Structure 1
């Protein structure tokens, strides 16, 4: 057989893909990093707690993924799981959208609250889920957070909250804005009784959430690269008629200007929280 024939035959069962070629990949098997565009197996990203192994970009975690990454196995007890939203203003299609997010996330609302053990240290906990209405704060979100703070006060437990929110939920109007005051009052009562609150802001923490309970912890932490702020960049630029820095409203910018205590990599989160909980437990004893 001549050399020319060998290469001619190879073409029948070996082709070089071009830009128009479609490669059959099972849906959900791969995940692309939004920051560096590298592609990884989804299992690999999950093992890395949704942190890109190449550039370190922190992709969002669902509420239960966050809880699983921090709490000791079989120690988490959920509070107020059955509280659900209504439609007090009869906002068009609001109930349908909430129901759709319930089906998509498996949650009844945009926050999960409860208590459990982190490396043997008992703590109360709330974690917002950006996959549910972008973590927006409505009446139920505010009520669940206020109740969890009150439970922590009654049981003399520390309170840790992970925030992720696009702000107040416009479909509930003034009722959603009222949650800023309600949660802040609950935290003030908790603090006056000597309670410890740790706030960890994740991407994004904006609007009424950033202006209330997210920013009034005894410790205020954030994940790397998180967007944190009240009003949007364009609104501020148009108001002050100045161009803002590129890193404006990032956790790094806030850290530089004294508005955060520390930026914590997700892989270091559990150990740091354990250290703080142990330190304050010794002070109590």
Structure 2
């Protein structure tokens, strides 16, 4: 049954039908929100082109910074990823994420699939998803703390500090796991066997699926200089997105507070 379903989904006719269905859905949603789109187009025509140009440049640079995070992390795991491929994937994934309902889930699946094509194992692709997310969260927390101290934003410093500490701890644990994959594999197998005993199932049930976990994760080598580089690219991505948002508000004559835009 599973084989038939897989063959059906891979059929060219099925893919064409799905693509047409997506296009029809997009056209339907665009028609329902035509007034909103028309108003947006009028605002765009009346906007200050200088600020719009700055917004376009900064968003392109932010996409490049985001792709560099992918390049640094995947190359640290021995994946020979090209910058052009990483940038194209980033643009396509962000387009899906921002354009359609459920787009973020499609975007994650697309990134995961493409990284497998580049030679990443499922463990490495999953590690990238987790670690890049932690870096993004840490960058946002740092910007939040900076807003409190330099822009006078009224936010509970304790909340930001706790968030930053949690992110640092999680990032450290993730990096430790990459440096000690055998210990992680042994711990996971022990937990799985305990769970199997609790369920009164064969003790080695599904253990073979964890075998080789350590060998895959052991390919990651993320020394401090590479980690710092990934953090800097992730932080730069946030800063450029903030500048882009500010430029967009100024382009239409709005005066948004910088601290508010940061958060």
TM superposition score category, shorter chain reference: under 0.3
More strand per residue: 1 or 2?
Answer: 1
Task: Name the TM-score, length of structure 2 as normaliser.
Answer: 0.27
More helix per residue: 1 or 2?
Answer: 2
Task: Name the TM-score, length of structure 1 as normaliser.
Answer: 0.26
Highest RCO, 1 vs 2 (Cα 8 Å, sep ≥ 6)? 2
